[in-house]
Structure 1
């Protein structure tokens, strides 16, 4: 849905032109899974799929939220009072934009209300950060309209707080930062400890390759507990090893660190994944900067095996994508996102894409799984004002 459609929808709902229209993208994480809440490294890039918001300010403390399609859409705007917003008071989609308003106000910013109309092309529940796109587009609009002067990384921090505290989902900072800060044609090498960023050129088409997203259509819900269990296990590992975060365990000293964990087998697995995954991110950055793009394929597959066997957040559908794609000539493949469903990515030569796509679809049909959605992931622009 384009800016004009969202603008027209706003006019139909609220009887006046919006003050502006903004967009924020979903993201694919190339490498670096479950490292962000361990102060580690990640490497996402923005998708062309976006959440679009038409917004106007209010001064009467009323927040009106309407969705054309998010959460199934709403018949009429949901009306909330900004001074009555409270963490974990809302379990619907409206918790994400309301949480952003709450987080901004908690940080001392005078947000006095807004009329908001939203629409999105980011697939929900596919591990592509539809919630972060929703948060960031509202945050950017309010930042512009109320002249708050916040930078992209600051908006990302506030959006993370909204999701952690208001929504109650213990996510890391990667998704919001990717949506707010990614650049077209690049992957974002992000240090989640201090939010240091480096844009790494990532133009696969110029090298005759493609990166496919395979949405398994298996839905996940991070706040149901499994995500939180992994995060708590990582924090336990850091405490047992006497470090602030697992980011501080050197890759060269991993074996010794695992030995110090004794019979804490579940914690050992989590620690091993995080430490090796940080090393994989650094390896991919090095390969891309040296121009050896095809060599990242095996690193992606290596990351999937770690997520499957150590972190244990894969599922039969994700494993089938990875195994089938690699057997059909892919350069590499792995699950992406929080896990327990969602999407996988497949790096392939352009000429092999049709055969790989067909093989994955046939494998799903044979297994009795829902037909997956397959599309190309093109590194796109981060959040921006459209009109």
Structure 2
């Protein structure tokens, strides 16, 4: 039992005067490659990380959900029968939205008891590591157990996505929740977002002496508004103009036709998605054939495409990635939805410190904010801890 799990259980007891009926947790995620391809029904390769959100939950005699967290004194209460997107706001929508999504998807909650829920998260917020999906998935596995729903991990990932899309209002795909639910130690999750089939992919980082260095730009982003939604609209516009239901249906052989049919900006958005799908498939194949030291060029090409074609990076991310590669990283790219957040660098463990120092110095010299640097390890997905 981790210190975090123990502390949240104790915190629940202090708040509610009783021990929780259980403690569940779910991880944040890093997307190794495959950005903005998920809502285009393409391919992604994320992995769960060793930073988790914990939910301590106790059953109540009423039918009220009471949600609190270790990062605020606020408690939000809502009756199960009153669940609706319009009744939720703020961070508690990530919790209450999961319960609402279960009901909206037809699961019978008529006999479901009320719950006291205490949330604690060690997934950095605004860093592009999907702190929101970690909350949703920790809550989803708790509700699945306590309400006897018998849903599969992938079913629960879909419930989390519905909560994110329709209760929170963020137009994301399945990537984040699938990674958080399906993660395995030293493995990525190769997800086909069209069929929603997933398979583990061995990363071999430990045996190759490699680490994933996260370079948090400390430029916070927000997916419910702004550029993320604009990019999704551009993808839908491009697909409609090319006569396909999603950009997944296109290959690199279609790019000449796309260039002739689309305005310049929409073409670049489409080109990113089409080439990024190809890069995900190539990365999975390369990991199997040659190992992680051979994927650097694919990571770098993904970064260039996000910078130039999809235009979702920021100067802090671009400089961090370029500096990391110049100083010995195998490859580096932005991870997450963009407009801030984090980049990742695949680095030799014995060079991590020097690479990190070079990145910090480069950003300081450019007058940009100091990044937050730390490593993450591909880890287990959502689970019951107590």
Same fold (TM over 0.5): yes
TM-score under structure 1 length normalisation: 0.96
Instruction: Work out the CA distance in 1 between the residues paired with 2:350 and 2:17.
Output: 51
Contact 1:88/1:168 (<8 A) preserved? no
Q: Of 36, 42, 65, which residue of structure 2 is paired with 1:34?
A: 36
Q: Given the alignment of the two structures, is residue 232 of structure 1 paired with residue 233 of structure 2, yes or no?
A: yes
Structure 2: gaps of 5 or more residues: none
Q: Tell me the equivalent position of 1:83.
A: 81
Show CA shifts across 1:230-252 (max 9, x none): 10110111111111110000223
User: Matched residues in 1 for 2:295 and 2:236: separation?
Assistant: 29
| Mapped partners of 1:134, 1:287: distance in 2 | 33
Q: Deviations over 1:7-35 (max 9, x none)?
A: 11111111111110001000000000000
Q: TM-score, normalised by structure 2?
A: 0.96
Give 1:228-267 correspondences, 5 Å limit: 228-261=229-262, 264-267=263-266
Give the length in aligned residue pairs.
381
For 1:34-53, what aligned pairs fall within 5 Å after superposition?
34-53=36-55
Partner of 1:106: 104
Q: Report the aligned-residue RMSD.
A: 1.3
CA distance in 1, matches of 2:364, 2:73: 36
**SS at 1:103's partner residue?**
helix
Report the CA distance shift for 1:242/1:59 in structure 2 as closer, same or farther (over 3 A): farther
| Structure 1 residue 366, shift from structure 2 partner | 1.6
Bigger mean CA deviation after superposition, 31-40 or 369-378: 369-378
User: What is the rounded CA distance, in whole Å, between the counterparts of 2:171 and 2:74 in structure 1?
Assistant: 30
Structure 1 range deviating more: 333-342 or 243-252: 243-252
**Residue 323 of structure 2 corresponds to residue 321 of structure 1:** no
Superposed displacement of residue 76, structure 1: 4.5
For 2:334 and 2:247, locate their aligned partners in 1 and report how far apart those are by CA, in whole Å: 22
Instruction: State the match for 2:183 in structure 1.
Output: 182
Contact 2:42/2:248, CA 8 A, preserved across alignment: yes
The 10-residue stretch of structure 1 (244-253 or 268-277) with the greater mean CA deviation from structure 2: 244-253
Partner of 1:288: 287
Deviation at 1:135, TM superposition (A): 0.5
Q: CA deviation at 1:332?
A: 0.9
Which secondary structure does the structure 1 equivalent of 2:308 belong to?
A: helix
Q: CA offset at residue 370 of structure 1?
A: 2.7
Q: Which moved more, 1:25-34 or 1:323-332?
A: 323-332
SS in 2 for 1:60: coil
Of 27-36 and 199-208, deviating more is 199-208
SS of 2:279's equivalent in the other structure is helix
Task: Map residues 297-376 of structure 1 onto 2, 5 A cutoff.
Answer: 297-376=296-375
SS of equivalent residue, structure 1 residue 190: strand
For residues 144-193 of structure 1, give each alpha carbon's deviation from its aligned partner in whole angstroms, at most 9, with x where no partner exists.
11110101111111111111111111111100111011111101111011
Q: Deviations over 1:305-344 (max 9, x none)?
A: 1001111110010011011111112111010000000000
Q: Which residue of 2 aligns with 1:138?
A: 139
2:13 maps to what in 1? 11
State the secondary structure of the residue aligned to 2:333: strand
Q: Pairwise mapping of residues 116-131 of structure 1 onto structure 2 (< 5 A)?
A: 116-131=117-132
**Counterpart-to-counterpart distance in 1, 2:114 and 2:102:** 11
C-alpha displacement at 1:372, in angstroms? 1.2
State the secondary structure of the residue aligned to 1:125. Answer: coil
TM-superposed deviation, 1:85: 2.4
Check 1:112–1:225 CA distance in 2 against 1; reply closer, same or farther (3 A cut): farther
